[in-house]
Amino acid sequence: MMQLCNEFKDAIVALVVKRWSDRKPDGLGRTMLQKLVYFIQAKGVPVPFEYRLHYYGPFSQSLSESIEWLKVAGAIVDRATDESRSDFGPGANIEKVLEPHLGELHVHEAKVDQVIEAFANLGGERMELLSTTHFVQNAAMVENTKSRTIREVRRVKGDKFSEEEIEEAIKYLKEHGF
């Protein structure tokens, strides 16, 4: 079963789960994992997950599938007791996924740690705003201005986030190198 999770992209996801668990023993849900990997990719880590805008911000179906295969392989476990939530942690086979890619992981582990550090203490709604704002900023084909970003986030999210919250998100992203 391990051959199903032998790609670098799987190792990055497993590393995120491991590093999150080292920092915070619980609380890595499905949506947070999606957002962390999204921002790790934005930092330049070469993982081939394609994202589209979804209800809670950028979402990758291929990442979701990778997470499921990592669970099947025992590389990560979902410790949540409520099926509507997730709480991912390292599984017994996590090292089998990481070991073949240790050299390449080492090259990118600082970026993984930077992303986890930047977002570890933020809640789901804040991550939704930040990732949506970043997605909108990077989807700009013509103009990439603050006013355009605010306008597009408001178009996508309606009145869920105020203009001030979006401006704060833009500032936070810039301060953290996004």
**What pLDDT sits at residue 75?**
96
pTM greater than 0.95 (yes/no): no
Q: What is the CATH number of domain 1-121?
A: 1.10.10
| Cα distance between residue 89 and residue 92, in whole Å | 10
Residue spans of the domains in the chain: they are 1-121, 122-178
User: Per residue in 115-155, pLDDT tens?
Assistant: 999 999 888 899 999 999 999 988 866 677 889 899 999 99
Cβ within 8 Å of residue 156, ≥6 positions away = 53, 132, 136
**What per-residue confidence (pLDDT) applies to 141?**
66
Per-residue pLDDT of 4-16, as tens digits, reads 678 999 999 999 9
The answer on pLDDT for 98 being more than 70 is yes
Q: Scanning the structure block, which residue is given the tokens 């970003």?
A: 149
Write down the pLDDT at residue 1. Answer: 40
Burial 38-71 (b: 16+ CB within 10 A, else e): bbbbbbebebebebeebebbbbbeebeebbebbb
Percent share of the chain, pLDDT over 90: 76
